[in-house]
Structure 1
Amino acid sequence: MAADSGRRAVSDGRDRVLARVRRALADVPRGERPGDVPVDRSYRRAHGERTAEETVALLAANLAEYRAVVHRTAQDGLPGLLRTLLARRGAASVLVPAGLPAHWTAAVDARRVDDLAASTARELEAVDSVVTGCAVAVAETGTLVLDGGPAQGRRRISLLPDHHVCVVRVPDQVVASVPEALERLDPRRPLTWISGPSATSDIELERVEGVHGPRTLEVVLLEVSGTPDAATHGGG
């Protein structure tokens, strides 16, 4: 009896959906195809107008809203800041992508672990921290995007260690919106979109962090100035 009732409910639901589809298509000519009707795709690319500094400030605010810890520094202050962040964490080891600029971690006391294809998940989980660059950061959503570039390494290294420090060059790696970010990204690359530390909630909305990645995300907004070469080196 229960099974029959369930089947009737599914059938009734399907019939209602199909009836609505038929009503919506009632005035569409039988021979018309989707490609025959022009669709306006002039979507809004960003919400409001901002200066570059305002866009960076919005990114910082939204990162903090997602419980990321945000820091700002100039280029000459980065090595000392990274040393402080890892020491404060008590990190004895730090995972470093092959293309990360060497001077970024020159002052770090922790043992450096290379990003190797042969490393096992267990070995990577045992590393205390990882430091990476990023491909682009989205201000309106507080999102960091990694695409496996030289300063970012393999996707798994930003997912397995419990502490992730991500360096974002500002303002050149910051965009206002997701559409602007997509224009900079190659969809063929392994894209990882990060909005705050890894977290989930159970049915009672109890937040649990560290389920699918690092429990702690620290973002360093690196103020870059000077020549284009200096701004480009080591970021992606």
Structure 2
Amino acid sequence: MNEWSDSRPTRTPGMSAKEEILARVRTALAAPRRDAVTEAEDVPRDYQRADDKQEVSTDPGKIRDVLVQRLEDYTATVHRTTPSGVASTIAAALGEARTVVVPADLPTEWTSGVTAEITTDDGTATPRDLDRIDAVLTGCHTAIALTGTIVLRGDGTGGRRAISLVPDHHVIVVEAEQVVLGVPKGIERMAEDARAAWTMISGPSATSDIELDRVEGVHGPRRLDVVLIDPEPEPEPEPEPADAAPSPAARPRQERTA
């Protein structure tokens, strides 16, 4: 067990303040830490993990509900739809945007209802070029419900970082299987490609100055719309047919009495 001493060097006559400060630093560096971890077994393991019961047993629908609540708390606009309605929902989320930039491998069915001019990013557009574009449409890699964080990977669906930061309006499509509950599970998914360029988004870009005046759009898009694709609802069970009336031949014969 570590021994700890809070004793400090005593200032002696003729010792300057500088010498006293340096003596105290030397004393502190020489003393062992109270919470020093000496063995791997001493590392506390009571933090949340990706395989916690809460993560693996919570109903996915409830997890998506938490994500929606967090995103709306951050003033993002959430559009919930199903795979059959994703094209029209994306078109509605883009609103009056006249020009839209998309990553190279974005699913074509997502833009089938978009009437704006679509530019597929090939990596040559400069920030000044992107600033002239009204909106950007991307997919996502992971959405973390508890923190309301959407994680983009720099690939053909998430796009390079510049296109998600410069245009003033960002529309992100989140699929149901991409939503996780907590940060550990999100980090576990990101670890599948540890060298990728990652961008984490928690609501529209906003900051506050020293007087707490909120300013939006400084570090990224001022408007954030999230299109959340829920699974198609289960079909309603067909009602069981009512019992058919028995045929005359099957009815019991009644005896006549004289």
Asked if these proteins are the same fold (TM beyond 0.5), I'd say yes
Q: Please give the alpha-carbon distance, in whole angstroms, between the structure 2 residues aligned to 1:47 and 1:200.
A: 36
- What does 1:82-231 correspond to in 2, within 5 Å? 82-87=90-95, 90-170=96-176, 172-185=177-190, 186-224=193-231
Give the secondary-structure state (helix, strand or coil) at the position aligned to 1:150.
coil
The whole-number CA distance in structure 1 between the counterparts of 2:38 and 2:104 is 48
Please show how residues 63-74 of structure 1 align to structure 2 within 5 Å: 63-74=71-82
2:139 partner amino acid:
G
- CA offsets per residue over residues 18-49 of structure 1, 9 Å max, x none? 65665553797xxxx84566423352236956
* One-letter identity of the residue aligned with 2:180: V
Q: Distance in 2 between matches of 1:47 and 1:126?
A: 47
Task: Quote the RMSD (CA, aligned, Å).
Answer: 2.8
Q: Which runs of 5+ in 1 are unaligned?
A: 1-7, 227-236
Q: Give the aligned length.
A: 212
Checking the alignment, whether the CA contact within 8 Å between 1:135 and 1:149 is kept in structure 2 is no
Partner of 2:63: 55
State how far apart, in whole Å, the 2-side matches of 1:18 and 1:67 are: 50
Q: AA paired with 2:62?
A: E
Structure 2 residue matching 1:184: 3-state secondary structure: helix
* Alignment partners' CA distance in 2, 1:91 and 1:105: 13
What is the deviation of 1:82? 1.5
- TM-score, with structure 1 as normaliser: 0.80
Tell me the CA shift for residue 124 of structure 1: 0.7
Q: What stretches of structure 1 move > 6 A for 4+ residues in a row?
A: 14-18
Contact 2:149 2:200 in 1 (8 A): yes
Letter in 2 for 1:93: T
The answer for the alignment partner of 2:10 in structure 1 is none
| Larger CA Rg, structure 1 vs 2 | 2
> 1:162, CA displacement in angstroms?
0.3
* Cα drift, residue 224 of structure 1: 3.9
CA distance 1:206–1:109, shift in 2 (3 Å): same
Structure 2 unaligned runs (5+)? 1-16, 234-258
Q: Which moved more, 1:48-57 or 1:199-208?
A: 48-57
Say which structure, 1 or 2, has more relative contact order (CA 8 Å, 6+ apart). Answer: 1
